[in-house]
Amino acid sequence: MKNGGKAGQDWSQLMRLAIAGDQRAYQELLTAMTPVLRGLIRARAGGMDMSWCEDVVQETLLAIHLKRATWDSDQPLRPWVYAIARHKLVDAFRRRGRSVHVPVEDFAETLQAEPEPDSFEKRDADVLIARLPERDGALLRCLAVEERGNEECGARLGLSAGALRVALHRALQRLARLRQEGEL
């Protein structure tokens, strides 16, 4: 599937849920991840037998499990997983006494080009911004949601460059307080 999981969920979201304790999400992630890893490792195995490849897949899955807390949840999961797979493959070749070079470029076609926008993130931002005073909300929508420049947003809201910076700072402080208070 395009996102690497069932029902359109991507691996990153499934791992976030799994780290938060959702066992079903973790099982779904491992189920989605295993055939992809198996294909990558077999393609790079250089004529090694199927049981050798399966051992590398299992070592990779175990390493992902043991190291899952080290993944930066703000980053896509796939590059992290593929790096682990690459290292486990190299380790397996070294144990067999073969010299191997597996360039990162070999994995480039399987890496996610750009993370897709998170629909929940936009919804959460809209909900929080709607709770701000009108000017703060308009400023954050212009700068962050619509991704307009400082000059355009300043002109739209009648703010000088200095006033825009001060207003943005205050709006972000209010937004942070809302987020901390669990207003979402």
Enclosing H/E stretch for 96: helix 77-96
The per-residue pLDDT for range 151-172, each reduced to its tens digit, is: 899 999 999 988 988 898 888 8
Neighbour tally for 163: CB within 10 Å: 12
Q: For position 76, what pLDDT does the model report?
A: 92
> The whole model's pTM is what?
0.50
In three-state form (DSSP H/G/I as H, E/B as E, the rest C), the secondary structure along 119-149 is HHHHHHHHHHHHCCCHHHHHHHHHHHHCCCC
The per-residue pLDDT for range 12-60, each reduced to its tens digit, is: 999 999 999 999 999 999 999 999 999 999 888 877 888 888 999 999 9
